[in-house]
Structure 1
């Protein structure tokens, strides 16, 4: 399973039934710090009712908690677009 697929799976588990898109931006960072051809830089777009009423930092924490093992060891950077429906 690729890193992108593992991210998608973790998001499905953390945000069941919600819209989540994962885009691998790693190729744009070739030659930069943290680049890994297996996937190191990602853009995540998530729409979840769980975000309603939460400040941006609280929304980010929910996503970081869901992806914690990957973010600690394998993924260099994520760009987040987190919205409530």
Structure 2
């Protein structure tokens, strides 16, 4: 299973109505994170789980769902976390 597939799978508990994941690792070739094996990703996720939560709390929910992937497989993750109403 690819890293991107694992990310999508781990985010399933947030019941995303939309999930767009972009691998930007190629833009960071030669960067220390690229050499260590961690990828650079952009995530756009729309979920009712974010309703009533501020940006920091939304990002924490994503980080918690990804767990150890944030230490091993992901070097950088840009997150846009929105509610269905905001989308």
Instruction: Using structure 2 for the length normalisation, give the TM-score.
Output: 0.87
Deviation at 1:45, TM superposition (A): 0.4
2:8 equivalent in structure 1: 8
Unaligned runs of 5+ in 2: none
| Contact kept in structure 1, 2:16 and 2:45, CA below 8 Å | no
| Contact kept in structure 1, 2:38 and 2:72, CA below 8 Å | no
Deviation at 1:17, TM superposition (A): 4.9
Root-mean-square deviation (CA, aligned residues, Å) is: 1.8
| Contact kept in structure 2, 1:46 and 1:82, CA below 8 Å | yes
Deviation at 1:69, TM superposition (A): 1.3
2:20 equivalent in structure 1: 21
2:43 equivalent in structure 1: 44
Instruction: Using structure 1 for the length normalisation, give the TM-score.
Output: 0.88
Instruction: Tell me the distance in 2 between the aligned counterparts of 1:39 and 1:74.
Output: 5
Unaligned runs of 5+ in 1: none
